[in-house]
Amino acid sequence: MSSQRGLSDSRLAVIGDTGALLARVYYMLPSYKFEFYTTSACFKEVKDAENREALLNALELGLVKVVDAGEEYISRAVEEAKSIGELSRLSEADLSVIALALSLAGKRNVVVLTDDYSLQNTLHHLAISFKPVRTEGIKQSFRYREYCPVCGYVPGKPGEKTCPICGSPIRRIRVS
């Protein structure tokens, strides 16, 4: 049993967002070198029959593990996204990927597969490795300021596009 544990710990933890699941990258990674993870939120976003069946087969074969991080990691992901002005651009699934990366990063080498620029930007600020799947990915990271230009409200929830106070669109400007 202990030799199995050593093998598992030495493999790179690869975390795939929904885009990586749809690209079926889990079939391209040799399982002796990589352990592929995703979250239940990303799993739920795969809705078309063909990709859903492929993902279910990969789960059955042990190619994919669905794991969710604890609330403390979700909170940390939200706080980081908020601090760099990415919270309104990230979905609950994106935040679950960040949280899982944070939870695994303390114990393993981790890389996140994603084409989402806001997700990549947040991961960069957290010093978590990422690789794009089908795009070039970000070339540098930025910080933004998100706010309502009418009343000054600052988004506090993922994906918030409209101010809940006055109904104006949330605005975002680059600050660095």
Q: Locate the DSSP E strands across the chain.
A: 12-16, 34-38, 64-66, 110-113, 129-131, 144-147, 171-174
Chain Cα centroid distance, residue 112: 7
CA nearest neighbour of 128 among 165, 146, 102: 102
Tens place of pLDDT per residue across the chain (176 aa): 333 344 345 799 999 999 999 999 999 999 889 999 999 999 999 999 999 999 999 999 999 999 999 999 999 999 999 999 999 999 999 999 999 999 999 899 999 999 999 999 999 999 999 999 999 999 999 999 999 999 999 998 999 999 999 999 999 999 97
- Total count of residues recorded for the chain: 176
Sign of CA dihedral 55, 67, 105, 13: negative
Q: What's residue 149's pLDDT?
A: 97
pLDDT digits (tens, 9 = 90+) for 23-51: 999 999 998 899 999 999 999 999 999 99
HSE toward the beta carbon, residue 127, CA cutoff 13 A: 2
User: Would you list the domain boundaries of the chain?
Assistant: 2-131
**If you search the block for the tokens 């992901």, which residue do you land on?**
77
Q: What's residue 2's pLDDT?
A: 33
Nearest-angstrom CA–CA distance, 78 and 90: 9
Question: 2-131, what's its fold?
Answer: Rossmann fold (3.40.50)
**If you search the block for the tokens 């940390």, which residue do you land on?**
76
Q: What does pTM read for this prediction?
A: 0.90
Q: Quick check: helix, strand or coil at residue 169?
A: strand
